[in-house]
């Protein structure tokens, strides 16, 4: 399984409104959704993360049923978006 890590050249700041990220491409991203912020925090706190570990943590925190396939598709789409903005990278 692919592991992902946060990009080293990334500025971010967390406040009451969410997480503000300045990507290496010079774009500003604002994460306001609790799930999106949790995923970013996971990358920020851990050296590497896999999709299966992200699924496991989010299912526990937000009580998401294992059989919910749409959940996994949404997470993959969000991860691909973060990769596109160069916020995270695959290893």
pTM: 0.91
Tens digit of each residue's pLDDT (9 = 90 or more) over 18-53: 999 999 989 999 999 999 999 999 999 998 999 999
Tens digit of each residue's pLDDT (9 = 90 or more) over 74-86: 999 999 999 999 9
Question: Residue 28 is part of which domain span?
Answer: 3-90
| Domains in the chain, number | 1
Which CATH number belongs to the domain containing residue 79 in this structure? 3.90.930
Residue 20 CB contacts under 8 Å (≥ 6 apart), including other chains: 12, 13, 14, 28, 29, 30
Angle 36-41-44 from CA coordinates, rounded to 5°: 130
């Amino acid at each position: 399984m692919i592991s992902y890590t946060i990009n080293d050249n990334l500025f971010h700041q967390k406040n009451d409104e969410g997480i503000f990220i300045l990507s290496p491409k010079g774009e500003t991203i604002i994460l306001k959704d609790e799930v999106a912020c949790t995923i970013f925090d996971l990358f920020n706190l851990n050296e590497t993360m896999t999709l299966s570990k992200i699924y496991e943590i989010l299912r526990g925190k937000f009580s998401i049923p294992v059989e919910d396939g749409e959940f996994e598709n949404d997470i993959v789409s969000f991860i691909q978006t973060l990769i596109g903005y160069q916020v995270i990278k695959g290893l």
